[in-house]
């Protein structure tokens, strides 16, 4: 699902307006664009995502997302009580997710000036699939835009498929309509269980739900030290030692 925006090289002999402008004019243009991005990030009405959610949706590592924020490659909205700066949460708009995706894919070949010029072109042409970064580089922004949109849809589906109720397993996230703990299932997959083994032990689940569970857990990490399967009361064994279904029944889970 997470591909790389296509780059195509194209020679154009005519100089663009910004390239022919004086250094002072180019600096002013970059400042105005950066200021506009800052203002839009501050008052945006777009949907916002935490760095973890942004990483899950875009397929980019959380460390890379935070690195892009720290380097001001993408701007964030700070939510919370401004008087308690330590309590402010950094969030990204969908527009920032697109810029993040493009930067992560081809940012290494662009100077800051070229990157800002590309972002300005993307913002000015929200429906264009191919945007010219400069005279020699054209970026397939449409592919990146499609991937971000698909990731956001999947996250929405995951939030509908996974619920929390204090009366069910003490509020532990479970698959809707079941008592099957989501984090335990993902922990089993991370421990080496195959989808086939999980689905054999939990026939109420399917491959799509397992995929959504991975996405949901990536976007909503537990607070504090992650619990192991043993901590959760599960002792995953391979197919030769015992099926996940038998283990689940022994621990009261809804298989």
- Domain range summary for the chain, segments of one domain joined by +: 7-155, 164-250
**20: which residues sit within 8 A by CB, 6+ positions away?**
none
Q: Which CATH class is domain 164-250?
A: mainly alpha
What's the pTM?
Answer: 0.70
Please give the Cα distance from 187 to 200 (Å, whole number). 16
- Residue 35's pLDDT is what? 47
From first to last of its 255 residues, the chain has per-residue pLDDT tens of: 455 444 444 433 333 333 445 555 555 545 444 444 444 444 456 789 999 999 999 999 999 999 999 999 988 887 765 555 555 688 999 999 999 999 998 877 888 888 888 899 999 998 999 998 777 788 899 999 999 999 999 999 999 999 999 989 888 999 999 999 999 999 999 989 999 999 999 999 999 999 999 999 999 988 766 665 555 555 555 554 455 554 554 445 666
C-alpha to C-alpha distance for 101 and 43, rounded to whole angstroms: 22
């Amino acid at each position: 699902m997470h591909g790389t925006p296509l780059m195509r090289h194209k020679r154009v002999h005519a100089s663009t307006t910004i390239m022919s402008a004086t250094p002072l004019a180019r600096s002013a243009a970059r400042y105005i664009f950066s200021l506009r991005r800052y203002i839009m990030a501050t008052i945006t009405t777009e949907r916002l995502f935490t760095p973890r959610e942004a990483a899950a949706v875009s397929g980019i590592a959380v460390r890379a997302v935070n690195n892009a924020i720290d380097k001001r490659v993408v701007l964030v909205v700070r939510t919370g009580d401004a008087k308690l700066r330590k309590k402010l949460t950094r969030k990204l708009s969908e527009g920032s997710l697109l810029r993040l995706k493009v930067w992560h894919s081809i940012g290494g070949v662009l100077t800051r000036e070229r990157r800002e010029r590309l972002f300005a072109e993307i913002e000015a042409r929200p429906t264009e699939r191919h945007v010219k970064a400069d005279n020699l580089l054209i970026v397939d922004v449409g592919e990146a835009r499609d991937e971000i949109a698909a990731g956001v849809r999947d996250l929405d589906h995951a939030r509908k498929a996974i619920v929390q109720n204090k009366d069910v397993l003490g509020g532990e996230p479970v698959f809707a309509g079941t008592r099957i703990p989501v984090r335990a299932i993902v922990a089993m997959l991370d421990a080496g269980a195959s989808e086939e083994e999980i689905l054999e032990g939990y026939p109420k689940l399917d491959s799509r739900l397992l995929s959504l569970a991975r996405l949901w857990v990536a976007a909503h990490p537990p607070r504090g030290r992650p619990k192991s399967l043993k901590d959760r009361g599960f002792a995953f064994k391979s197919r030769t030692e015992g099926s996940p279904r038998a283990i689940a029944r022994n621990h009261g889970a809804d298989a």
